Chains A and B, each alone.
Chain A
Amino acid sequence: MTTEMATLPAPPARYTKKDLVADHPTWCPGCGDFSILSTYFKLMEKLQVPHEKITSVAGIGCSSRFPYFVNAHGAHFLHGRGVPFATGISLTRPDLHVFMFGGDGDAFSIGGNHLDHAARKNIRMTYVIMDNQVYGLTKKQTSPTSPQGFRSKTDPTGNIDQPINPIKKVIAAGATFVARTHSHLPNHVAEMMERAIQHDGFSVIECLSECSEFYPAAFDGANPRKGGTFQLVPADHDVTDELAAYRLAMSPFPGYFGVFYQVQRPTKNALEAQLIADAQARVKNASPTELLTQTFERFK
């Protein structure tokens, strides 16, 4: 797909994270998402992704408010459908950096099917899933990652359903970059995000992000400052070993943090571009008018 580049009057000056700040976040005080947002600003400042090329997409949820707080192009789509929306952008605009932000409801419940298919097709984008294990925007209902026994307004006597294991799900679906981090450790968030952005393919980060209002202290077990243990993925873990990654993902909470899985597999973006190049070579780069005329001559 051809993409015209904008011609700028002068080379863009370096921007700072201040230039990326938009509306003040509407999140509750103490929300884990603040740290992810500020880490993201710092990272963009460091990487200097061209300002106009940053495109943030989200579905619905507290964390899906993310694009409003970033002064960059962005879209706030429907609950669960952010991933296919971002797919439409990614496939038609190879010049852009597409970021998906959302929560566990968007990713694993209402949009669960889309996550699987974007992963297996290896659509080029970075998806940061802010997992708070509760529905916060609608004020404390059970989420697909809520642990069994969790009391919510929809499970007043405690959740009886087995939660989804996010890492297992995305590895099984075919994601080519799978990492897990914790919003209380911004340096680790930044490291995971940077590696995800540099990955050519569908990169997913599950970021534990505490809901201070409806599920406080949920992730203290993994927060050293609260007496927990932040256990990194072992240094000798082979990130291309799918079964090993799966085994790591099966360890009980708080589990491991870091890159579980990373392989290089052609993206759909690249495969479609190849399909186009082959098809256009076959028709000797005929123009649309020539192609249509040839086709319709055969219909005579």
Chain B
Amino acid sequence: MNNGGLTNSREDAGAVAAARGNQVSDVVIRLAGNSQDGIQAIGGFLARLAGRTDKDVMTFMTIPATISGGPSIFQVRLGTGEVLSPGDDVDVLVAFYQHSYQDHLPTLREGGILLYDSDHVKPNHEEHRYRAIGVPITSRTVEAIGGTARDKGKNMFVLGLLARMYDLDVAKLETMLRAYYQGKSEDVVRNVLLAFNAGYSYNLSQTFSFTTSAVAIRGGQVVTDGNQAIAYGALAAGVRFGAAYPITPWTSIMEILRAELPKYGGIFVQAEDELAAVAMACGASYAGRVALTGSSGPGLSLKSEAIGWAVMAEIPLVIVDVQRGGPATGLPTNVEQSDLNIARYGSHGDCPRIVIAPCSVPDCFYTTIEAVNLARQYNVPVIVLSDQALATRVEAWPMPDFAKLVQELPLDLSPRGPDFRPYADTPDGIAQHAPPGTPMVDGKYPIVTGLEHDEYGHPANRPANHALMVAKRRRKLKVLEAKLPKPELYGPPEGDVLLIGWGSVRGVIQETVDRARAAGERVSAAHLRYLMPLQPGLKELMGGFQRVFVVELNDAGMYGYGQLAGILRASFCDPKIQGINKTDGLTFKTREILQIMREKIQTQLAPAAAGA
């Protein structure tokens, strides 16, 4: 693959930094060990430290599906300024074991640093592609802590090493460590600090410092993962009832809500199964306030029938789907964007609902609030399509303005009627409910049903009525569509290639655009936040480009384009829409997108010929 003289802007930055005396603006650190080594804790502390010092941060984590043992990695990218993706190549690989070294060395960039535990790893000294720094991590940790606490505390020793290597704010780190281990025994706190200080005082041959950020973030930054953002978004939006069944990678959302909701006067039920969970949420929403349920792909499959009921009965509902690799049990701890079709269409019958996909950790928070409000306003189920990469990604983001954001969901039990018609055929097509407990002035009480019904909610299978009601349920989404903003465009509105993405790939697509434009290619990107209904203006947007590639983490399918690409082709009948797809269970790298894009451009017919 010819990169066409492309320069890696980050490598350039590295070269410039070297000239300034080991100053860097951005570093990607991958920690590779076993799942019981506590390497996620190192990543977590680095991320939170970055958040506190106005550095941007993004992490990437794979947790093995097994409970204990087995390889585990955590990748953290720290940068001054906006960090968009977990990073293509690794600047520093910390290898705890021989297998970590062997498995992850290919990700280390040329000229990068291999920091390895010389007690466990025997690197190939013939290799000069990188700089190898051996540190007896295990023995030094044991020496520092004493006793027989074998393997414990190595993570804190490594955190100390990295703090030294990158001249991190040690005072802040120590404060965080003390706060984190507060409540544990004095011994634990003492050992943590001993291990950390031993690592920090280890004499490393190579050190760097970060360039200072020009942009100070007002109100301070918070550091959370995507699942936390969704859980607290639901609380801010006024959700006070939820029900779900545990499934990776959704589970941490329900764990948070179960612990937090009682403080807010709410209830979260661990249901007996996915079917019960969505049914409980439907019941609570019917009772007057928007309820939430969630799952991953297998659970969404099981919830599909009830989603159809909520569409038919026009009951508001929020369903979070944290996507993982499928089908079936699939890849529980890997990322995939392959639930788009089931999110849009899953359930029998014509079953319109709203689908929104967050693109970042803060967007998980705000999208959840929006989902609750759209569900209320349109009396329809709203699916929030997150994914495993967002669920486990840790980002620093500005503190939300809770005074403005926090809302209560009202329960309207004011008397209704006369002639109350929940499903009146109004221009906007949106149902109006009278929840149980509402007195009806004319003494006629409404029934809410999954059978096709007339304007009063009575079962009605007259042919004209079904056509009318199907159109009504579709019409309210058309009303929403007209109000949606145009898709976000990154780069100029005209060019050769438009990359279209949705969900968690937004950041890496924007980096791809930066790199392609730096190489002289006329590439722009559009991000679709709303996947059902689609945002207006997409056709005109695509009109400005020769080629359109939809970049998504799902299969290219029978005809060479993935799930969103298929939807766009069906919607716009435009054969220039093609796919850039990947199904290895990992997030996209900019390099991968560029490579597939360039290959497709070289091997495919010119758009005009292809369309003829």
Question: Chain A: residues with CB nearer than 8 A to chain B?
Answer: 1-6, 8-9, 12, 19, 22-23, 51-53, 55, 57, 67-68, 71-78, 80-81, 83-93, 95-96, 113-114, 116-117, 272, 275-276, 278-280, 282-283, 286-289, 291-293, 295-296, 299-300
Q: Is the CB of B447 within 8 A of A74?
A: yes
* Min CB–CB distance B43 → chain A (angstroms): 15
CA of A292 to CA of B233, assembled, Å: 10
Set of chain B residues within 8 Å of A93, measured between Cβ atoms: 287-288, 436-437
* Chain B interface category by residue count: 35 or more
Known contacts A88-B279, A96-B437, A299-B222; A292 and B235 CB within 8 A of each other: yes
Knowing A76-B449, A85-B286, A289-B406, the reply to whether A91 touches B267 (Cβ < 8 A) is yes
Inter-subunit contact A88/B264 (CB<8 Å):
no
Known: A73-B447, A90-B283. 7 other contacts (CB 8 A): A3-B411, A4-B413, A55-B436, A88-B241, A88-B280, A300-B52, A300-B220
Q: A52-B439, A292-B406, A295-B232 are in contact. Are A84 and B283 (CB under 8 A)?
A: yes
Per the bound structure, the CA–CA distance linking A76 and B286 in Å amounts to 11
**Contact, CB under 8 Å: B269 / A91:** yes
CB distance from B236 to the nearest CB of A (A): 6
- Interfacial chain B residues near A8, Cβ < 8 Å: 415, 439
B266 is an interface residue with CB less than 8 A from chain A: yes
Given the interface pairs A73-B436, A73-B446, A89-B436, the reply to whether A78 lies near B265 with Cβ below 8 Å is no
The answer to whether B284 touches A91 (Cβ under 8 A) is yes
State A141–B238 Cα separation when bound (angstroms).
Answer: 46
7 contacts between A and B (CB under 8 A): A1-B266, A68-B447, A74-B445, A86-B283, A91-B241, A91-B284, A92-B289
Contact flags B427-463 to A (C-beta < 8 A → 1, else 0): 0000000111111100111111111000000110000
Q: How many A-B residue pairs have CB under 8 A?
A: 212
A5 lies within 8 A of B276 (CB): no
Nearest A residue to B397, CB-CB: A299
B-side contacts of A279, CB under 8 Å: 262-263
- Residues of chain B contacted by A295 (CB below 8 angstroms): 232, 260
A6 partner residues in chain B, CB cutoff 8 A: 413-415, 437-439
Residues of A within 8 A of B222 (CB): 296, 299-300
Are A85 and B443 closer than 8 Å at their CB atoms?
A: no
- Is the CB–CB distance between A89 and B283 below 8 Å? yes
Would you call B280 and A85 a contact (CB within 8 A)? yes
Known: A6-B413, A291-B264, A300-B221. A77 touches B282 (CB 8 A): yes
Most chain-A CB neighbours within 10 Å: which of B309, B434, B458? Answer: B309
Given A6-B414, A292-B406, A300-B52, A85:B447 Cβ within 8 A: no
Most chain-B Cβ atoms within 10 A of its Cβ — which of A57, A71, A80, A88? A88
A288 and B406 within 8 A (CB): yes
Q: A4-B413, A84-B279, A88-B283 are in contact. Are A296 and B447 (CB under 8 A)?
A: no
Partner of A280 from the list B262, B288, B414, B435 (CB cut-off 8 Å) is B262
Closest CB of chain A to B599's CB: distance in Å? Answer: 42
Distance in angstroms between the alpha carbons of A9 and B288 in the assembled complex: 22
Say if the beta carbon of B368 comes within 8 Å of chain A.
Answer: no
Tell me if B472 is interfacial: C-beta within 8 Å of chain A. no
Given the complex of chains A and B, what is the CA–CA distance between A235 and B480 in angstroms?
64
The smallest beta-carbon distance between B413 and chain A, in angstroms, is 4
Asked if B224 is an interface residue, CB under 8 A from chain A, the answer is: yes
CB distance from B493 to the nearest CB of A (A): 37
**Chain B positions 270-316 with a Cβ under 8 Å from a chain A Cβ:** 271-273, 275-277, 279-289, 291, 305-306, 309, 313
Judge whether B81 is part of the interface by a CB distance below 8 angstroms. no
Give the CA-CA distance A113 to B287 in the complex, in Å. 23
Q: Known: A117-B276, A299-B224. Is A5-B413 also a contact (CB below 8 A)? A: yes
Is B449 a contact of A88 with CB atoms below 8 Å? no
A78 close to B305 (CB less than 8 A): yes
Interface bits B192-225 vs A (CB < 8 Å: 1, else 0): 0000000000000000000000000000111110
B47-71: which have CB < 8 Å to A?
Answer: 48, 51-52
- CB distance A73 to B437 under 8 Å? yes
Known: A96-B436, A288-B406, A296-B232. A78 touches B450 (CB 8 A): yes
Q: Report if B240 contacts A (CB, 8 A).
A: yes
